[in-house]
Amino acid sequence: MTATREERLPARRARRWPYILVIVLAVLLGLLVVGDRGAKAYAESTMADEIQKEGFPAKPEVQIKGFPFLTQALSRHFGDVRLKAKDIKTGPLSITSLDVRARDVRVNSDFASGTLGSVDGTAFVSFGALAGASDTPGLQLTADGPTKVRAKMNLGITDATAVASVTKEGNNIHVKAESVEDLPLEELGEPLDFTVPVSGLPLGMQFQSLNVTSKGVTLRITGSKVAFSDQ
């Protein structure tokens, strides 16, 4: 016996219901994701505003890692936060860029103050910035290995090219000539033996080690129990 139209309608509706449920859930999930991303962006911006006051010349870029954000926000505890910044003046030296990772970050309810449990990352100093922090006019530096540079300078009557070591001495970068092309080292005098302090890093971070790269010197920097506040 053939079912009537009225008898077929409930069956069709029953078959459609799972599809409708999937669509509704997908919409709700999309709204949650959008809300999560929006709340994350607001928190990152607010945190960056306050962290800037701890020694950054401009607002740093802050990225809170992990998903979903809202569950982390409810606990006000973030396991992984990235900070990036550029052109940071520390005494005579200009840090070209800074890229660090903060762990165990705890904040108050409005994200305007908190504590970075530990900070670890790098500060990059371009060869131009390092040369500019010296007293040697016209100094040009290029890489010559993980701990050395080639240095071209004007001695007044002629140019000279030297190989110099780059080492960490205390909280300083020390550049010292080891040999000179076509000249005895003693004839170079002292235009290529200088020390640049690395002090006043943001968030109280400390300079731990260095290595020479193709475009400059990379410093490893760390910190712990670093507080930031809106006060």
pLDDT digits (tens, 9 = 90+) for 9-56: 455 555 554 545 445 444 444 434 445 566 677 778 888 888 888 778
184 in a domain, yes or no?
yes
* Cis preceding-peptide flag for 68 (omega within 30 of 0): yes
**Strands 216-228, 77-90: pairing kind:** unpaired
DSSP string, 14-31: HHHHHHHHHHHHHHHHHH
HSE-up of residue 79 (Cα within 13 Å, Cβ side): 6
**Strands 61-64, 172-180: pairing kind:** unpaired
Query: Are 163 and 101 part of one and the same domain?
Result: no
Could you give the number of structural domains in the chain?
Answer: 2
Q: Domain containing 141: what range?
A: 127-219
Per-residue tokens: 139: 């100094």
131 in a domain, yes or no?
yes
Measured distance CA(60)–CA(205) in Å, rounded? 15
pLDDT at 115 over 90: no
Question: Cα-flanking dihedrals φ and ψ of residue 17, to 5°?
Answer: -60, -45
Query: Are 95 and 50 part of one and the same domain?
Result: yes
Q: What is the pLDDT of residue 47?
A: 80
Query: Are 211 and 149 part of one and the same domain?
Result: yes
pLDDT band at 101 (very low <50, low <70, confident <90, very high): very high
Per-residue tokens: 114: 């908190």
Query: Are 168 and 109 part of one and the same domain?
Result: no
27 in a domain, yes or no?
no
23 in a domain, yes or no?
no
Beta-bridge mates of residue 64: 81
